[in-house]
Chain A
């Protein structure tokens, strides 16, 4: 039972390069999320998808785009990476959109460094 799987686990990018973080869940969840975590800043929501076919901005969406490819998959794209995007990225999912109180399940994280 894999839960939430995200790839790659580690990535180094040069400023201006683009890349996509992939995320898939096998729990038949409706809602998926992308967070970033920086030291002393906690978890900040980048984008979320309350259900298949919808996406919405979170707290810190600038510089990112997302695609809810299907119910299982939710990708995060950095079009032109900047050093400020160096962070740990977590994908997560929940059965229903979070404010109904469903548990959020997190992937193991992707460590991204932009030089």
Chain B
């Protein structure tokens, strides 16, 4: 079945550093979604990518969908303590989520 691999599993950065998490699928995706879960909270939708090579920005967050629609990335510029949490990608087939990347930020 489809698998969605997400790396790294953990990332610790100093406040102000950049952060990137990567999502790779074993199959071509019709779309991919990204979610953020704050510690003790529930996942909250961030964005959806649909088109091959698509790039979307939300303030300091940049999301990319690969040309082959099998991989995606989330890049945060100049991290802040409010960015702390676990970031999940979710592939379109079979409702599969990656295991997430847990981001911690040292102020």
Contacts and interface: CB of A to CB of B under 8 A. Distances in A.
Interface string B32-46: 010100000111110
Interface stretch (B52-60, B66-74, B77-85, B87-95): B87-95
At the interface, is chain A mostly helix, strand, loop or mixed?
A: mixed
B45 A103 contact: yes
Interface string A27-58: 00000010100001111110010000000001
A74 interface: no
Interface residues of A, number: 22
A29 to B, nearest CB: 13
Interface in A93-111: 98-99, 101, 103-109
Q: How large is the interface on B (under 10, 10 to 19, 20 to 34, 35 or more residues)?
A: 20 to 34
B30 interface: yes
A101 B97 contact: no
Contacts of A90: 42-43
